Structure 1
Amino acid sequence: MVQCSEGDCSTEATHRCSRCKERVYCSAECQAKDWPTHKTQCKKVTTQPGAQPNSSLPPGYMMGPLGPMSMLGSTYNLATGLSTPASSNALFFSEMFGYKAECPERIYSEIVDTYRIFRSGDYLQATGPSSMPFEEYVTKVEKSGILPGWWKEENRDGLLKFSKEDEWGNLERQVTKEEIKNHLDKPAYMLTYEMMIERIKNSG
């Protein structure tokens, strides 16, 4: 039996990482849980000289840690050739992780934390730290399509206030990526954050 690569799992593996083809997993949940540990090695493998890009992906898609995805948030099934759009009424990959965007304060916290990671440059496709002002980042968030349908101008104002006055959300507070991870309901949400950042960064 080939055991799942996630450290706390002893279940038999059923598939490989679609990006590097080296790590094996029993489920998408274990793959997402292992991603913070695996991503550095995964990037090294896929960026080695002579590595061949996946030519079977349609234009606009790249190979993500859980399979092909586009910058607009849709996923692509290599077996069927069909794409699935991300929901516009809940945060990115909500169906995968079970999160529904119903509470403004929770969304404020999510956006502030993705900005912290974006600003630090500590995410999968980062080219380095960013000096983009938070208000400019929020404008890109609003253009990205990840916000729920009820989002209004007053929510933008609430978010900007949250980033200055909330104990956790205050951007003057120094917060590490590990602290953000510990602040999440599930460690797997960190992968969601990295996917969200890619979508936000490439919007408008």
Structure 2
Amino acid sequence: MDIEDRRRYYIVGSVILEIDQPLSRTKLKTSRGLGSFQDFLNTQPVKHILFHLRHRNATCCTDKSNCVNNSKLPLIYCQWNLLYTENRGQHGQNCQCKFTANPVQLNELDITLAGLILLNCCNLGSTEENAIRILLLRYKNDYISHNMEGEITETEYKSLWTDLTSFVLQLDPNKQDDLIRIENRPFDEGLCSNIV
């Protein structure tokens, strides 16, 4: 194992956890409007969208014309269960109206869940949407979550770091110092093990 390859993995993972995740939560807080996060999740349009990101072959009783049958279900069970509870006393078809939002807090959302909600339920500009899609979904998955070796080569890192910093700064230009601090801090194997 090359220690420098491991260090580069640590740097990218640190950016995603220490900068991108808080940025996504902040963006979600400001993009959803007034009211609590639970109120936002309970709005019919948001609940309907998220319902169809978790449930396949379901037609809702209140909004049949906007029901979508996704080939992939990006919202996994534990994420759905964090957000919603089924009203057990309500019988009938599998529909979004059978669920009520839980009193979840933004800091309980993992980076993928925050990204899914942002991309699907909030009005973002095309630049923000692109940056979030790449940072929270593609880069996190490609370089951290599905990287079984826990390493990033120097060649790969050079182009990745340029793109990574560019997308972070598109979301918040004030993060330049944080990026420099993370890239220059000493490698910590213990923290690196917690990144996945």
Normalization by structure 1: what TM-score? 0.24
Normalization by structure 2: what TM-score? 0.25
Kindly name which structure, 1 or 2, has the bigger radius of gyration based on alpha carbons: 2
Instruction: Determine which structure has greater relative contact order: mean sequence separation of CA pairs < 8 Å that are 6+ residues apart, divided by chain length.
Output: 2
